[in-house]
């Protein structure tokens, strides 16, 4: 039997001792204390642990998202930008759903709705994966009686419907003419305060991501060795501490070291960030210029692809290119290598003939 005691504060403490288990909770109302006691004894009879009041207050999927974020922040792992954006979307669309109502059909309907909104197979796959992560976290960490099985079934259904799958690999590379048109557009725009031509050239020269370019600092620069340290580089397996040193050279057609020197002269100092600009502003300026000069379907991230491909065209091996791009998985690196076939003429002319070729020439 449960015992309920009124405390001097006016609250009610309920204690249960049943089948060797003990649990205690405090409530402001006596009715709530009785209700919890009945539910706790039922769970014990079923061989389950009594549910704490903090867990019993979790009613909606939005509550599960909130408690997940709180837990991760407490252990020093707050959601980063992409995950935070996904959680925001899920809370907006599914946050009010009762936990018990989030079944297979509800998740399938959600997937169809997201697809109609324009979410691609990869994006939707990420959404479903995060939903499963939130539910699994609540069950494992807080003992919530909820199963991720409906999420798995919904994933299978959405995959069969073609709404979840691998993304289409982009092979878009800017032509020399397109880059020159963009450079002229940047340079002729008197209202543009960002050194966009320099930033775009630096992106191709280093194969760096936009946020990395706008984050590196002068203290990360090794002047003697012409190396640049990129801190906390993106890696799906290591979210922090993935620092990498890359060379600043002219192997891709643009001289990264010369661009850094030019940037120092432009700023008039070498303090703080090398490119002290908002990455969103840089991205917006790039998109506007593409529209203005009719460069279609070109993203700033394609410049990273371009730089990577140019390194291969310059004759670097895959393990050498990875030292610049930061790819730990060489299979991932291969999807960025869209080498133009005409460059094989130059590579063939620069390579040393094999013994077979020498004998054939004789």
Domain co-membership, 106 together with 45: no
Flag whether 357 is in a domain.
no
Tell me 275's DSSP state: S
DSSP string, 25-76: EEESSHHHHHHHHHHHHHHHHTT-PPPPHHHHT--BHHHHHHHHHHHHHHTT
Domain co-membership, 228 together with 246: yes
Q: 13, 29, 53 — which closes off a domain? A: 53
Domain co-membership, 66 together with 49: no
Flag whether 343 is in a domain.
yes
Flag whether 362 is in a domain.
no
Domain holding 189, by residue range, is 176-350
Domain tally for the chain?
3
Rounded to whole angstroms, the Cα distance separating 205 from 200 reads: 9
Flag whether 19 is in a domain.
yes
Rounded to 5 degrees, what are φ and ψ at 97?
A: -70, 135
Domain co-membership, 153 together with 188: no
Domain co-membership, 207 together with 153: no
Flag whether 167 is in a domain.
no
Rounded to whole angstroms, the Cα distance separating 167 from 358 reads: 45
Domain co-membership, 96 together with 192: no
Supply the CATH number for residue 282's domain: 1.10.443.10
Domain co-membership, 115 together with 244: no
Domain co-membership, 237 together with 121: no
Flag whether 356 is in a domain.
no
Flag whether 44 is in a domain.
yes
Domain co-membership, 100 together with 208: no
Q: From first to last of its 362 residues, what are the pLDDT tens digits of the chain?
A: 678 888 887 777 878 778 777 777 776 678 877 877 777 777 777 776 655 555 556 789 998 999 899 888 888 888 887 889 999 999 999 999 998 889 999 999 999 999 999 888 989 999 999 999 999 998 888 777 788 999 999 999 999 999 998 766 677 899 999 999 999 999 999 999 999 999 999 999 999 999 999 999 999 999 999 999 999 887 655 556 688 999 999 999 999 999 999 999 999 998 999 999 999 999 999 999 999 999 999 999 999 999 998 998 888 888 898 889 887 776 667 665 555 666 555 656 665 555 544 554 55
210-249 as b/e: b if 16+ CB within 10 A: bebbbbbbbebbeeeeeebebeebeeeeeeeeeebebebb
Domain co-membership, 209 together with 267: yes
């Amino acid at each position: 039997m449960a015992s309920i005691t009124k405390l001097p504060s006016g609250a009610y403490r309920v204690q249960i001792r049943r089948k060797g288990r003990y649990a205690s909770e405090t409530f402001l109302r006596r009715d709530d204390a009785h209700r919890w006691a009945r539910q706790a004894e039922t769970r014990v009879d079923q061989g389950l642990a009594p549910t704490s009041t903090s867990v019993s207050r979790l009613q909606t999927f939005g509550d599960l998202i909130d408690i997940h974020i709180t837990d991760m922040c407490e252990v020093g792992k707050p959601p980063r930008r992409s995950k935070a954006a996904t959680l925001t979307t899920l809370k907006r669309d599914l946050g009010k759903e009762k936990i018990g109502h989030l079944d297979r059909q509800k998740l399938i309907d959600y997937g169809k709705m997201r697809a109609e909104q324009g979410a691609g197979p990869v994006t939707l796959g990420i959404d479903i994966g995060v939903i499963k992560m939130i539910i699994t976290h609540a069950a494992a960490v807080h003992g919530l009686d909820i199963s991720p099985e409906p999420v798995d079934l919904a994933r299978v259904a959405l995959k069969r419907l073609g709404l979840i799958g691998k993304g289409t690999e982009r092979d878009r590379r800017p032509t020399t003419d397109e880059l020159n048109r963009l450079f002229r557009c940047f340079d002729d725009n008197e209202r543009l305060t960002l050194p966009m031509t320099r930033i775009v050239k630096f992106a191709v020269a280093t194969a760096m991501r936009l946020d990395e370019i706008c984050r590196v600092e002068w203290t990360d620069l090794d002047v003697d060795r012409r190396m640049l340290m990129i801190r906390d580089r993106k890696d799906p397996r290591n979210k922090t501490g993935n620092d990498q040193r890359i060379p600043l050279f002219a192997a891709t057609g643009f001289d990264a070291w010369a661009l850094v020197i030019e940037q120092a002269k432009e700023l008039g100092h070498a303090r703080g960030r090398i490119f002290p600009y908002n990455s969103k502003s840089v991205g917006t300026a790039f998109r506007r210029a593409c529209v203005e000069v009719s460069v279609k379907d070109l993203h700033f991230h394609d410049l990273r692809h371009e730089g990577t491909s140019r390194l291969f065209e310059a004759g670097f091996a895959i393990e050498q290119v990875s030292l610049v791009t930061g790819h730990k998985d060489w299979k991932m690196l291969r999807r960025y290598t869209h080498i133009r076939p005409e460059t094989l003429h130059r590579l063939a002319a620069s390579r040393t003939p094999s013994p077979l070729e020498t004998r054939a020439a004789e």
